[in-house]
C-alpha cells in the first residue's frame, strides 16, 4: 500500500509541473486604432527572439496605436537555454494534452491572438542558416530559416485589412534591406511555407493557428549563424518598426538604432534586483558569485527591473538569469528579518547624508556610518575587538577588494542588524 502511495504521489507531481507564467506588457498611445501583438521567446535557445521584445518594452514609447509585448513565453526553456524542455512549444497550437506543462501558456497565447483588439501578430525567432530562394550551399539555401520573414500563405482572403501577407512581408524586407545592414549577406527574404499544403509540422504552429483564425501573423527569423546578439536584436527591431509603420503605429525612441555600441550598451543593461525590500543589487558588472547574502530560509521575494530577469533556486543558491545569461549566483546566509524605516546617517566626504536601506551612496574619498540603533557590518573590513563598525572613517584601501560586489572593485556592502535579525543593506560605491 505504501508503494502504491509513493507511485501515485510521484505521478501527481510530474503532472503538476507547469512552465512559468509569462507577463504581457501593453504600451498604448492616445489612438488605439491598431494593435500589434509580439510574442517572444517561444524557443528558449533563440535569444534574438526574446532580447529584442524586451528591448522594445523597455526603450520604446508608443504615441499612436497599441503594442502588446510578451518578451518571453517559454521562461523555463529560456533559463535552460534549450529549444523546449517540455518539447517544442511551437508545435502545440493545434492540439495539446491537458497534462502538458506548456498548457497554460499556450492557452494564454491563443487567447491573446484571438483578442478582438489584436490586428496582427509577430512571432520572433532565431533560425538556422540564411534563407535563399535558390540553393547556394549548406548555409545559404531554401531550407534555411534565418534572415527571413515567414508567412504560412500568400493571403487571408477574408481580410481586407492586413490580409495580404506576402505583400506586407515583401514591403517589410524591402525597407529593411534598403536600410543599413551590418554585412551585405545579412539581407532578408520572404519564406512562404505554404503550410496548409506542404508543411504538416507548421500546421501545429502559432502563426498557422493565427491565420486559420483570420489573424494576420508573421514570424521574424534572424540567423543563428549571426553570433552577435546586438546585430540580431537590431534586425528584429528594424523589422518590427517596419510592421508598426505599415500599421500606422507611431513610436519614438531616444537612441540611434544604427549606432551599434549604443544599442549594445542598452541591451546589456540588466538593471537591479530588489531582495525582500531591504537589499538592492545592480546586476551590471556583478561578480559571478556573491557569498553570505542575508536572506530568509524560505519565501524570499526577488523583484527585477529587467523583463527577462528570473531566479532559479539550485542546490541552496539563487541563480540569477537575464534571458539565457547566468548573471550571478547568490549564496545565502540565513537570518530572521526585521523591517525598519529608520534613516541611516552617513558621513560622506565630510558631509552628513541621510539614506535608507537599498540605496547606493557614492563616495569619492571616505565614508563613516554614524551611530544608530543598529549593529553595522562593513563587508570586507575588520578590526579586532570591534562589534559594530560604525563611527569608523573608512577609505577604499581599508576594505579588501575581494569582497566587492562588482568586478571593477568599486561597490561594497554595508549591513545593518538588530541583535541577530537582519534589517537591511546600503551600498557604498567609490567613484573612479
Query: What digits encode the pLDDT tens for the residues 163-210?
Result: 999 999 999 999 999 988 999 999 999 999 999 999 999 999 999 999
From the centroid of its chain, how far is CA 13?
28
Q: What is the 3-state secondary structure (H, E, C) of 14-71?
A: HHHCCCCCCCCEEEECCCCCCEEEEECCCCCCCCHHHHHHHHHHHHCEEEECEEEEEC
Give the whole-number percent of the chain exceeding pLDDT 70: 96
What are the strands of the beta sheet with 351-355, ordered from one edge?
351-355, 344-348, 366-369, 394-395
Gap between the Cα atoms of 198 and 193, Å rounded: 7
Task: Tell me the torsion sign for CA atoms 386, 389, 390, 391.
Answer: positive
Q: What per-residue confidence (pLDDT) applies to 32? A: 82
Mean pLDDT across 250-259: 97
Residue 86, CB half-sphere, CA atoms under 13 Å: how many? 28
**Once rounded to an integer, what is the mean pLDDT over residues 139-156?**
98
- pTM for this entry: 0.93
Does residue 263 carry a pLDDT above 50? Answer: yes
Predicted confidence (pLDDT) per residue in 354-409, tens digit: 999 999 999 999 999 999 999 999 999 999 999 999 999 999 999 999 999 999 99
The predicted-structure confidence for 126-137, as pLDDT tens digits, reads as follows 999 999 999 999
What the block records as the C-alpha cell of 40 is 517572444
Residue with cell 537582519: 422
3-state class of 367 per DSSP? Answer: strand
Give the model's pLDDT for residue 131. 98
Taking CA atoms, 295 is separated from 22, 105, 270, 316, 330, in Å, by 26, 31, 22, 12, 10
pLDDT (0 to 100) of residue 11: 40
Question: 269: closest CA among 249, 285, 248?
Answer: 285
Q: Residue 419 has what pLDDT?
A: 95
pLDDT above 50 for 6: no
Better-scored residue on pLDDT, 30 or 337: 337
Residue 10 pLDDT grade (very low, low, confident, very high; cuts 50, 70, 90): very low
What per-residue confidence (pLDDT) applies to 432?
80
Q: How confident is residue 13, by pLDDT bands cut at 50, 70 and 90?
A: very low
How confident is residue 7, by pLDDT bands cut at 50, 70 and 90? very low
Residue count (the chain): 432
Report helix, strand or coil for 346: strand
Coil, helix or strand at residue 127:
strand
Return the half-sphere exposure (C-beta side, CA atoms, 13 A cut-off) of residue 209.
22
> Could you tell me the pLDDT band of residue 16, with boundaries at 50, 70 and 90?
low
Helices (H) and strands (E) in the chain, counts: 9, 26
Amino acid at each position: 500500500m505504501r508503494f502504491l502511495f509513493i507511485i501515485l504521489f510521484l505521478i501527481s507531481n510530474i503532472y503538476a509541473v507547469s512552465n512559468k507564467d509569462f507577463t504581457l506588457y501593453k504600451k498604448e498611445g492616445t489612438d488605439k486604432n491598431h494593435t500589434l501583438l509580439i510574442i517572444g521567446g517561444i524557443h528558449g535557445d533563440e535569444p534574438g527572439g526574446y532580447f529584442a521584445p524586451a528591448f522594445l518594452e523597455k526603450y520604446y514609447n508608443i504615441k499612436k496605436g497599441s503594442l502588446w509585448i510578451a518578451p518571453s513565453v517559454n521562461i523555463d526553456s529560456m533559463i535552460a537555454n534549450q529549444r523546449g524542455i517540455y518539447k517544442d512549444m511551437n508545435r502545440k497550437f493545434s492540439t495539446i494534452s491537458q497534462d502538458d506543462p506548456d498548457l497554460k501558456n499556450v492557452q494564454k497565447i491563443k487567447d491573446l491572438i484571438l483578442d478582438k483588439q489584436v490586428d496582427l501578430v509577430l512571432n520572433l525567432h532565431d533560425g538556422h542558416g540564411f534563407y535563399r530562394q535558390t540553393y547556394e550551399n549548406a548555409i545559404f539555401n531554401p531550407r534555411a530559416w534565418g534572415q527571413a520573414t515567414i508567412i504560412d500563405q500568400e493571403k487571408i482572403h477574408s481580410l481586407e485589412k492586413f490580409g495580404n501577407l506576402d505583400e506586407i512581408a515583401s514591403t517589410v524586407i524591402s525597407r529593411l534591406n534598403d536600410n543599413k545592414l551590418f554585412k551585405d549577406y545579412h539581407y532578408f527574404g520572404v519564406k512562404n511555407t505554404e503550410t496548409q499544403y506542404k508543411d504538416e509540422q507548421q500546421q501545429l504552429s502559432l502563426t498557422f493557428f493565427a491565420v486559420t483564425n483570420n489573424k494576420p501573423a508573421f514570424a521574424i527569423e534572424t540567423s543563428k549563424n549571426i553570433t552577435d546578439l546586438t546585430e540580431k536584436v537590431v534586425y528584429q527591431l528594424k523589422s518590427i518598426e517596419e510592421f508598426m509603420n505599415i500599421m500606422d503605429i507611431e513610436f519614438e525612441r531616444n537612441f540611434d538604432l544604427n549606432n551599434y555600441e549604443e544599442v549594445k550598451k542598452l541591451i546589456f543593461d540588466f538593471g537591479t534586483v530588489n531582495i525582500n525590500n531591504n537589499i538592492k543589487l545592480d546586476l551590471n558588472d556583478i561578480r559571478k558569485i556573491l557569498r553570505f547574502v542575508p536572506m530568509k530560509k524560505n519565501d524570499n521575494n526577488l523583484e527585477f527591473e529587467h523583463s527577462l530577469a528570473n531566479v532559479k533556486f539550485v542546490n541552496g543558491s539563487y541563480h540569477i538569469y537575464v534571458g539565457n545569461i547566468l548573471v550571478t549566483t547568490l549564496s545565502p546566509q540565513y537570518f530572521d528579518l526585521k523591517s525598519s524605516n529608520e534613516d541611516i546617517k552617513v558621513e560622506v566626504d565630510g558631509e552628513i547624508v541621510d539614506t535608507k536601506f537599498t540605496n547606493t551612496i557614492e563616495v569619492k574619498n571616505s565614508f563613516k556610518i554614524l551611530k544608530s540603533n543598529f549593529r553595522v557590518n562593513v563587508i570586507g573590513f575588520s578590526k579586532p575587538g570591534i562589534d559594530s563598525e560604525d563611527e569608523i572613517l573608512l577609505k577604499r584601501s581599508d576594505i579588501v577588494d575581494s569582497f566587492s560586489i562588482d568586478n571593477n572593485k568599486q561597490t561594497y556592502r554595508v549591513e545593518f542588524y538588530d541583535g541577530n535579525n537582519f534589517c537591511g543593506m546600503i551600498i557604498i560605491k567609490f567613484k573612479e
